[in-house]
């Protein structure tokens, strides 16, 4: 049964042998990439490790295919002749796949985003989980998996929140007109100074920004490490609110004074 | 406070209290510092506990491996001039259990107030642990639980006068030595010009007989990080 010819002199045994060889080579590739991941775990960035491991897997697959082609009596020169026609057919049939693949290769080498970056791609805000050859996957902050074709990633607008090591955020804080704005600013400066992750340099700024209809508006600008800015933003805003209130400096409600043209007479 | 302690033990310093007790289920580690309470159950036959300074890069979280020491007063250095100065750095204290490689502390705490800063610009710069230090020409008297001392050899190898306001160090090269009186490191800063200088730690203590501290930032695990810090964002 194993000697049964399947096509042009290729027996079932040779087909099975080819599958086995391909499997062994792919498994060796996987083992090498797994070992590489273990070895480089603490020594290189996650992005570099994942890219290297993918390259090893693809190279193993390519070698496997090259090795089994002669066993399967597939003539490479025949491929070259038929290649042109096949390429045109495949080109038309899989235009978007090829386009995604090429975009994927450019993404891996140009690296506008990396694994674990916080990004906004095409309105999808989240953490980059993987950059594959055809698509990029993102885990949004509410835990949803989003797969974006690489062509869209490459040609679209990417906002990478971790590309720079630090970023600035700001608050607008309104206080009552009767409150001491100097004291309020001093309190805010002390709280920023106390917070370990609010950066010393670039220096934070606190100043009177506007004399509004109901309040004196203070502007507070703080630089923070890009990885932690949101946590700091939440923590500091609450601390500022509580500490200002403890010092009898309050955020006023919107106020409007109404004056009557004629005073109403009081009834006795 | 620093050194090897037998389990069970109780250590008290200022508002720090560490109680390590053994019962039939294992070892209970209980640490209070200020408002923070840390309690851990340790499984293992360990009989000792090592308390020693570690690289001051771990608290409140390990965000960076760079330490920036800003000088209270700028230092103006003549071309070709070398000078030995002493600056301070914040101390973080690690608690290690005996046995095994002891390369991972069970607890790290500090008496100081951690602060971070940016060195360089937001694109190419680095987030650094921040510390402000006096410039001392003689070894200052500091409490080793709070501050350590860097014996810093500054040399201006360039052809111009330079004004130095800070030094940035790489935690992967830090070799910290300690005894009951002092926590110290020895480093050099080689200045080429205003935009380029290098800092590097020495593997030797500046006072013989001091014990080498445990390293959390192990250079052999991060060979790509190197042990020097190249200061290209100004001095």
Distances (CA, A) of A222 to A92, A193, B126, B128: 53, 10, 17, 16
Residues A192/A184, Cβ–Cβ less than 8 Å: no
DSSP per-residue codes, B27-64: EEEEEEETTEEEEEEE-S---EEEEEEE-TT-SS----
ipTM associated with this complex: 0.89
Over range B119-139, report the average pLDDT: 93
- Average pLDDT value over all residues in chain B: 90
pLDDT at A268 over 60: no
Q: What is the largest CA-CA distance in chain A?
A: 121
pLDDT tops 70 at residue A164: yes
What number is the average pLDDT over the span B198-219?
A: 87
Q: Look at residues B220, B174, B231 and name the one whose alpha carbon lies nearest to residue B201.
A: B174
Partner residue opposite A200 with nearest CB, options B60, B122, B130: B130
Q: What is the pLDDT of residue A101?
A: 82
- Over chain A, what HEC string results? CCCCEEECCEEHHHHHHHHHHHHHHHHHHHHHHHHHHHHHCCCCCHHHHHHHHHHHHHHHHHHHHHHHHHHCCCCHHHHHHHHHHHHHHHHHHCHHHHHHHHHHHHHHHHCCCCCCCEEEECCEEEEEEEECCCEEEEEECCCCEEEEEHHHHHHCCEEECCCCCEEEEEEEEEECCCCCHHHHHHHHHHHHHHCCCCCCCCCCEEEEEEECCCCEEEEEEEEEECCCHHHHHHHHHHHHHHHHHHCCCCCCCCCCCCCCCCCCCCCC
Beta bridge partners of B93: B53, B109
As a whole number, the mean pLDDT across chain A is 86
Q: Summarize the confidence of residues B159-166 as an average pLDDT.
A: 92
Q: How many CB atoms lie within 10 A of CB B55?
A: 28
**A97 vs A27 pLDDT, higher one:** A27
Contacting residues of B for A201, CB less than 8 Å apart = 117-119, 130
Binned at pLDDT 50, 70 and 90, residue B103 comes out as low
Whether residues B118 and A223 touch (CB distance < 8 A) is answered with yes
Nearest CB to B118; choose among A196, A202, A228: A202
Interchain CB distance below 8 Å, B116 and A42: no
Evaluate whether A113 touches A162 at the Cβ level (below 8 Å).
Answer: no
B39-94 pLDDT, tens digit each: 999 888 778 889 999 999 998 999 999 999 999 999 999 999 999 999 999 999 99
Residue B207, H or E segment: none
> What's the pLDDT band for A216 if we cut at 50, 70, 90?
very high
Q: From B113, which residue of chain A is nearest by alpha-carbon distance? A: A196
Say how far apart CA A245 and CA A179 lie, in whole Å: 11
Q: What is the pTM of this model?
A: 0.78
pLDDT of residue B155: 94
How distant, in Å, are the alpha carbons of A194, B75, B195 from that of A240? 12, 37, 38
Is A52 touching B (CB cutoff 8 A)? no
Average of pLDDT values for A202-228? Answer: 94
């Amino acid at each position: 049964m194993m000697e049964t010819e399947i096509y042009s002199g290729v027996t079932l045994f040779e087909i099975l042998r080819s599958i086995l060889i391909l499997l062994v080579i792919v498994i060796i590739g996987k083992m090498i990439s797994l070992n590489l991941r273990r070895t480089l775990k603490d020594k290189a960035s996650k992005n570099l490790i994942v890219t290297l491991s993918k390259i090893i897997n693809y190279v193993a697959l390519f070698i496997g295919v090259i090795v089994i082609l002669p066993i399967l009596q597939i003539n490479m020169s025949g491929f070259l002749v038929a290649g042109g026609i096949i390429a045109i057919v495949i080109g038309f049939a899989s235009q978007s796949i090829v386009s995604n693949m090429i975009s994927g290769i450019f993404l891996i080498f140009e690296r506008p985003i990396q694994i674990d970056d916080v990004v906004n791609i095409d309105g999808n805000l989240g953490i980059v989980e993987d950059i594959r050859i055809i698509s990029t996957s993102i885990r949004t902050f509410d835990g949803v998996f989003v797969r974006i074709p690489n062509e869209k990633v490459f040609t679209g607008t990417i906002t990478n929140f971790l590309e720079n090591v630090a970023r600035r955020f700001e608050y607008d804080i309104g206080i009552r007109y009767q409150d001491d704005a100097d004291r309020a600013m001093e309190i805010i400066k002390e709280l920023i100074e106390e917070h370990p992750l609010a950066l010393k340099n670039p220096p934070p700024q606190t100043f009177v920004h506007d004399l509004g209809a109901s309040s004196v508006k203070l502007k507070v600008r703080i630089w923070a490490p890009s990885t932690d800015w949101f946590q700091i933003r939440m923590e500091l805003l609450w601390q500022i609110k509580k500490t200002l209130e403890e010092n009898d400096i309050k955020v006023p409600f919107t106020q409007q004074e109404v004056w009557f043209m004629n005073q109403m007479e009081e009834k006795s | 406070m620093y050194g090897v302690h037998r389990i069970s033990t109780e250590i008290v310093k200022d508002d720090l209290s560490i109680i390590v007790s053994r019962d039939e289920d294992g070892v209970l580690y209980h640490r209070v510092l200020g408002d923070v309470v840390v309690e851990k159950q340790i499984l293992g036959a360990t009989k000792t506990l090592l308390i020693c300074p570690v690289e001051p890069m771990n608290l409140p979280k390990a965000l960076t491996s760079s330490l920036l020491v800003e000088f209270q007063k700028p230092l103006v250095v003549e071309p070709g001039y070398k000078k030995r100065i002493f600056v301070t750095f914040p101390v973080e204290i690690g608690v290690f259990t005996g046995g095994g490689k002891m390369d991972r502390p069970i607890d790290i705490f500090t008496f100081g107030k951690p602060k971070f800063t940016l060195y360089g610009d937001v694109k190419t710069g680095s987030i650094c642990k921040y510390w402000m230090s006096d410039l001392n020409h003689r070894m200052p008297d500091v409490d080793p639980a709070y501050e350590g001392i860097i014996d810093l050899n500054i040399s201006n190898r360039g052809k111009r006068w330079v004004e130095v306001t800070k030094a940035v160090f790489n935690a992967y090269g830090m070799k910290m030595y300690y005894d009951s009186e002092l926590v110290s490191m020895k480093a050099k800063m080689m200045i080429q010009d205003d935009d380029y200088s290098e800092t590097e730690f020495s593997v030797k203590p500046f006072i013989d007989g001091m014990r080498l501290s445990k390293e959390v930032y192990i250079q052999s695990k991060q060979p790509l990080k190197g042990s020097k810090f190249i200061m290209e964002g100004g001095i």
